[in-house]
Amino acid sequence: MKFGVVRFPGSCDEVDALMACRRFADADLLWHGDRDLSGVDAVVVPGGFSYGDYLRVGAIARFSPLMESVIEFARDGGPVLGICNGFQVLCEAGLLPGALLPNDSLRFVCRQVDVIVENPGTPFTRTCEEGDSLSIPVKHTTGRYYAPPGILPEDQVVLRYARGHNPNGSMDDVAGVCNEHGNVMGLMPHPEHAVDPLTGSADGGRLFESLAMVPA
Amino acid sequence: MSLASAPHRELGLTDAEYDGICERLGRDPNALELAVFSLMWSEHCAYKHSKKLLRLLPTEGPHILMGPGENAGVVDVGDGLAAAFKVESHNHPSAVEPFQGAATGVGGILRDIFAVGARPIAVLDSLRFGELTSARTRYLFDWAVKGIGHYGNSIGVPTVGGEVYFEPAYEQNCLVNAMCVGLAPRERLIRSAAAGVGNQLVLLGARTGRDGIGGASVLASAELSEEDESKRPTVQIGDPFEESKLVECCLELLDRDLLASLQDLGAAGLSSSSSEMASKGEVGLDIDVSRVPLREADMEPFEIMISESQERMLCVVEPARLDEVLGLCEHWDVRATVIGEVTDTRHLRVLDGDEPVGDIPVEALVDDVPLYDLEPEEPSGPLYPDPPARLDPGASAADSLLALLASPNIASKRFVFEQYDSIVGSRTVRRPESADAAVLLLAPDGGTGALAVSIDGNGRRVACDPYTGAAEAVLECARNLACVGAEPLGLTNCLNFGNPEKPHIAWQLTRAVEGLRDACLALGVPVVGGNVSLYNEGAEGPIYPTPVVGMVGKLPEPSALPRTGFAEDGHAIALVGMFEPALDGSELEKLRGRLAGSLPPLDLAAHADALVRVRAAVRGGELPTAHDVSDGGLACALAECCIAGGLGAKVSIDAADAGLFGEGPGGVIVAGPRGAIDALEGALVIGEVGGETLEIEGALSVPVSELRMAYEGAIPAAFAR
């Protein structure tokens, strides 16, 4: 089993994500200018400010050569995890419903929050039980999830912020969603920054562990 | 703007300095040369008023790999790794345009770090503003914090610590000091000395524009005044995306050993970077400004030479390696242009195509700069007015404690640090306000060992007593490191002062540097580099003298470090170190409307010994709680331990004002199992953790929830008004 972690110019958390993946399986970086996914079994689109994000967040990255291959990979059922900026990119690419808007506070927020597993039936949460609480940090300026009515069925809500932990004003406390087939997931919290109790928590490792169970 | 008609005085040079330039050149300078001189001879670039004084500071030590004079200081941290660090000011740009001023302050200090080959792994900030009751202060504070976050968050370097003080003396002239720490394999370290006649000079990064023209001379080396809005064009604009590419590109160029030398472009742009590289390498440089990629086509050669456009680096490359360098830059989408070459002339020659437009001996720009002796004179009376009284001297101990916790200097800075990414890089073991120093793993994917970093300086105490206040800043920083078991490896400092040409400011500066020196010598910590920011004055007078001290230390085992908060009911609480509290210069005295004229003298050797004991106690690994006694004294420190741990405590200490709220260096609160506390040499047991109330016998009893509301609510409330 091998993870591929996308590296755009302006990515910030790609090495963190790479290290998190390597705790559970093989992993390599994928360069934004390539089209070849190098035969990876799962793709992680990491956090950061791809191409500077001076336009709408994620709007440029979505058009990179590599993302065209990632979109194809996802449409063929390959597992794709978008974290923070990666979530924004996947929404821009049309792989996930909804959009991420500026935080209610209009400020960047970096904070450890609790998120509740709402759907343990995805490739990303299969090691979790419904209702599990995971302690994972968020850090973003544009993380307020919004979807127009009727766009997001309840079973596509994978994670919710615990009561009182919604850091950005997301609709219905939504912290992470998946697509209709369940093979593409995006979340604002950073599971790659919660893989070791020494640096805060190991709860985020459950997502990578779940993905690593994907048959090679 | 035509420089030809502008007299040298407008560029900040004195008549005597102008004569000195003519003498060194043997002729009158042309307009370009004069512009270059005006920057290179500015206080900001040349340290004209501080260089002699800085020679007092100890700069030798067993761990030092690079000392003052390089882009950043570098210390050996073992296992083949080196830590580079430096603090720099961006005060005047931030006072004129806080968002970009603070953002480019971060961008600039990051470049200093990767210019020596180190990957930036942490940023800390030391900020000073007027009181939060002022709308201008709230504007400067809010946007400076946003600017720091914008740059650090976007480039993926965590902001792990810092400090903020609010005092009336900074109302006109805020301070924004940024410190960066980087890590490098020792073999990747590189110096800035240009070498190899015939080697190519390659400019990396952003295009050159008209931003920051005259930043070092007009803005950084003069007092602020009413017309400062007109100086906004002298503030640079930051682009963290460009710099993030530049970091990766430069580090890979160095990993492949493709560069002969590397230097960042900061104050005075190409002029200073090129002449400093040439000076250190004892060579000359020819620069063809017509090759420099521009944002605006019609820029004059002098503008190209002095532009402070951000996100640029200058490197020297052997001709045989040029193609590989250019290829790698293309991979990272970093602009790279050959703009000149190394010569044996020892002159900086500026060409516009084939036409020579400037020719200056490097020595005259860098080494042979006029240095001035300070004329210090101890002021006969107070320099600063007493602060406005905000607390009745008859207030109860409980009310005084709540007022102190709600004073923005002591109150939680969560509002600030939550706007910074403190965790990117996966090294952060202790986040802001969870321990006294930030702790960063040396190897995030395994291995042991960690760095601890802190930045400290209380300008009000330095205003009371420049010598003692400055020495206390060194002790405070070392004590914060000791609270996580770290031993200091080196120190960087930023000296923020008023106009050094005034005798009383010269006195403050001299006494403060003497205090820094003596404290460094007592602790055995060398100074690896730093920065001086003078002329911090507005119409209402000078800032408090504000030496800011940053330290990097190493600790062996990060898995069992203490935190600020109390951990468990029943833990014993003790005071360790050496603590002789007094009210002079304290936060309580400030709230009562008094600024003292002196501080109690320090026994530096005894403090150094006490710090060793604190560090040993923490390294024992059995103390879940350690927190230094700082602003607001013992009562505030105990309250902070209660708030952070969500637990109460019952203690018995001297219940007089000085015992509760007196300040002074050297005290550390520790807590842990009774057996562990009893085993500590020289620990004074003062109480026990438990309950939901902080109870100080004979003085006060306040629920932790009430303490928390005061402590956490104060700064957000200032913005809710």
Q: List pLDDT tens digits, range B269-294.
A: 999 999 999 999 999 999 999 999 99
Between the alpha carbon of residue B304 and those of residues B58, B93, B202, the distances in Å are 38, 20, 15
Alpha-helical regions (H) of chain A:
14-22, 65-75, 85-92, 205-212
Where b means 16+ CB within 10 Å and e means fewer, B104-113 reads bbbbbbbbbb
Q: Which residue of B has its CA nearest to A201?
A: B429
At residue A30, does pLDDT exceed 70?
yes
Rounded mean pLDDT of B580-590? 96
Q: Do A198 and B559 touch (CB under 8 A)?
A: yes
Q: Do B420 and A108 touch (CB under 8 A)?
A: yes
Q: Do B153 and A111 touch (CB under 8 A)?
A: no
Could you read off the pLDDT of A90-146 as tens digits, one per residue?
A: 999 999 999 999 999 999 999 999 999 999 999 999 999 999 999 999 999 999 999
Reference A123, options A71, A175, A77; nearest CA is A77
Q: Do A108 and B419 touch (CB under 8 A)?
A: yes
What pLDDT, on the 0 to 100 scale, is given for residue B217? Answer: 60
Q: Do A110 and B423 touch (CB under 8 A)?
A: yes
- Closest-CA distance, B81 to chain A, in angstroms, reads 19
Rounded mean pLDDT of B123-152? 97
Of A16, A48, A198, the CB nearest to B425: A16
Rounded mean pLDDT of A3-14? 96
Q: Of B64-68, B254-258, B547-551, where does mean pLDDT reach its minimum?
A: B64-68
Chain B residues whose beta carbon lies within 8 Å of the beta carbon of residue A19: 426, 444-445
> pLDDT confidence of B215, banded at 50, 70, 90?
low
Rounded Cα–Cα distance for residues B120 and B117 (Å): 9
- Report strand pairing: B347-352 vs B284-288: parallel
Q: Do A199 and B240 touch (CB under 8 A)?
A: no
Rounded mean pLDDT of B244-256? 97
- Closest-CA distance, B138 to chain A, in angstroms, reads 15
Amino acid at B589: E
What pLDDT, on the 0 to 100 scale, is given for residue B3? Answer: 46
Could you say which DSSP state residue B505 is in? H
Number of A–B residue contacts, CB under 8 Å: 91
At residue A83, does pLDDT exceed 60?
yes
Could you say which DSSP state residue B503 is in? H
At residue B219, does pLDDT exceed 90?
no
Cβ of residue B104 closer than 8 Å to a chain A Cβ: no
Rounded Cα–Cα distance for residues B212 and B235 (Å): 5
Chain B residues whose beta carbon lies within 8 Å of the beta carbon of residue A111: 418
At residue B214, does pLDDT exceed 90?
no
Q: Which residue of A has its CA nearest to B429?
A: A199
Could you read off the pLDDT of B154-193 as tens digits, one per residue?
A: 999 999 999 999 999 999 999 999 999 999 999 999 999 9
Rounded Cα–Cα distance for residues B12 and B29 (Å): 15
What pLDDT, on the 0 to 100 scale, is given for residue B671? Answer: 98
> pLDDT confidence of A72, banded at 50, 70, 90?
very high
What pLDDT, on the 0 to 100 scale, is given for residue B7? Answer: 72
Cβ of residue B310 closer than 8 Å to a chain A Cβ: no
Could you say which DSSP state residue B18 is in? H
Q: Which residue of A has its CA nearest to B423?
A: A193
At residue B445, does pLDDT exceed 90?
no
Could you read off the pLDDT of B530-551 as tens digits, one per residue?
A: 999 999 998 889 999 999 999 9
What pLDDT, on the 0 to 100 scale, is given for residue B231? Answer: 63
Complete DSSP assignment for B63-93: TEEE-BTBSSEEEEEETTEEEEEEEEE-HHH
Where b means 16+ CB within 10 Å and e means fewer, A135-164 reads bbbbbbbbbbbbbeeeebeeebbbbbbbee
Cβ of residue B332 closer than 8 Å to a chain A Cβ: yes
What pLDDT, on the 0 to 100 scale, is given for residue B497? Answer: 97
Rounded Cα–Cα distance for residues B265 and B204 (Å): 10
What pLDDT, on the 0 to 100 scale, is given for residue B503? Answer: 96
Complex ipTM value = 0.97
At residue B6, does pLDDT exceed 60?
no
Phi and psi based region of residue B561 (left: phi greater than 0; alpha: psi -120 to 50; beta: remaining): beta
What pLDDT, on the 0 to 100 scale, is given for residue B230? Answer: 62
Q: Does A92 qualify as catalytic in the annotation?
A: no
| Joined tokens for residue A52 | 């500077």
Chain B residues whose beta carbon lies within 8 Å of the beta carbon of residue A201: none
How does the average pLDDT of chain A come out, rounded?
96
Pick the CATH number of A2-212 from 3.30.420.140, 3.40.50.720, 2.60.40.10, 3.40.50.880: 3.40.50.880
How would you write B621-669 as a 3-class SS string? CCCCEEEECCCCHHHHHHHHHHHHHCCCEEECCCCCHHHHHCECCCEEE
Chain B residues whose beta carbon lies within 8 Å of the beta carbon of residue A109: 418-419
Chain A residues whose beta carbon lies within 8 Å of the beta carbon of residue B425: 15-16
Q: Do A110 and B156 touch (CB under 8 A)?
A: no
- Helix and strand totals (H; E) in chain B: 23, 28
For domain B191-366, which architecture applies? Answer: Alpha-Beta Complex (3.90)
Q: Do B240 and A107 touch (CB under 8 A)?
A: no
Q: Of A192-196, B48-52, B407-411, where does mean pLDDT reach its minimum?
A: B48-52
What DSSP element (H or E) covers B489?
Answer: strand B487-496
What crossing angle do the helices spanning B604-619 and B466-482 adopt, rounded to 10°?
10
Of B149, B332, B444, the CB nearest to A108: B149
- Closest-CA distance, B62 to chain A, in angstroms, reads 30
Rounded mean pLDDT of B518-536? 96
Q: Which residue of A has its CA nearest to B430?
A: A199
Q: Is B2 exposed, middle or buried (0-12, 13-18, 19+ CB in 10 A)?
A: exposed
| Joined tokens for residue B420 | 């910074």
At residue B327, does pLDDT exceed 50?
yes
What pLDDT, on the 0 to 100 scale, is given for residue B5? Answer: 46
> pLDDT confidence of B1, banded at 50, 70, 90?
very low
What pLDDT, on the 0 to 100 scale, is given for residue B218? Answer: 58
**In a mutagenesis test of the A interface, which of B153, B245, B563 is the best target, namely the one with the most A β-carbons within 10 Å?**
B153
Chain B residues whose beta carbon lies within 8 Å of the beta carbon of residue A106: none
Q: Which residue of B has its CA nearest to A49?
A: B154
> pLDDT confidence of A162, banded at 50, 70, 90?
very high
Rounded Cα–Cα distance for residues B593 and B617 (Å): 38
Instruction: Output phi, psi for B698, to 5 deg.
Output: 75, 5
CA B271 from centroid of its chain's CA atoms: 24
What pLDDT, on the 0 to 100 scale, is given for residue B212? Answer: 72
What are the residue ranges spanned by the domains of chain A? 2-212
For the question of whether the overall pTM of this predicted structure is more than 0.90, the answer is yes
Any residues with CB less than 8 A from the CB of B118 and at least 6 apart, and which? B72, B74, B82, B83, B84, B182, B183, B184, B188, B189
Q: Do B441 and A49 touch (CB under 8 A)?
A: no
Chain A residues whose beta carbon lies within 8 Å of the beta carbon of residue B428: 199-200
B151 three-class SS = helix
Rounded mean pLDDT of A150-155? 95
- Closest-CA distance, B548 to chain A, in angstroms, reads 26
What pLDDT, on the 0 to 100 scale, is given for residue B228? Answer: 62
Cβ of residue B421 closer than 8 Å to a chain A Cβ: yes
Cβ of residue B415 closer than 8 Å to a chain A Cβ: no
- Closest-CA distance, B291 to chain A, in angstroms, reads 26
What pLDDT, on the 0 to 100 scale, is given for residue A216? Answer: 46
How does the average pLDDT of chain B come out, rounded?
94
Which residue among B90, B92, B504, B607 is the active-site one? B90
Within 10 angstroms of residue B447's Cβ, the number of other Cβ atoms is 11
Q: Which residue of A has its CA nearest to B160?
A: A110
- Closest-CA distance, B486 to chain A, in angstroms, reads 17
Q: Do A19 and B441 touch (CB under 8 A)?
A: no
At residue A157, does pLDDT exceed 50?
yes
Q: Does A180 qualify as catalytic in the annotation?
A: no
Cβ of residue B412 closer than 8 Å to a chain A Cβ: no
What pLDDT, on the 0 to 100 scale, is given for residue B720? Answer: 83
Rounded mean pLDDT of B499-527? 97
> pLDDT confidence of B222, banded at 50, 70, 90?
low
Q: Which residue of B has its CA nearest to A196?
A: B426
At residue B234, does pLDDT exceed 70?
no
Instruction: Output phi, psi for B525, to 5 deg.
Output: -110, 120
Rounded Cα–Cα distance for residues A44 and B290 (Å): 44
Q: Which residue of B has its CA nearest to A137?
A: B423
The more confidently predicted of residues B219 and B107 is B107
Of A12, A54, A110, the CB nearest to B156: A12
Q: Do A193 and B423 touch (CB under 8 A)?
A: yes
What pLDDT, on the 0 to 100 scale, is given for residue B304? Answer: 95
Between the alpha carbon of residue B281 and those of residues B187, B254, B258, B264, the distances in Å are 20, 19, 18, 16
Interface of A with B (CB under 8 A): 9-13, 15-16, 19-20, 22, 48-49, 51-54, 107-111, 137, 139, 141, 190, 192-193, 196, 198-200
At residue B137, does pLDDT exceed 90?
yes
Chain A residues whose beta carbon lies within 8 Å of the beta carbon of residue B560: none
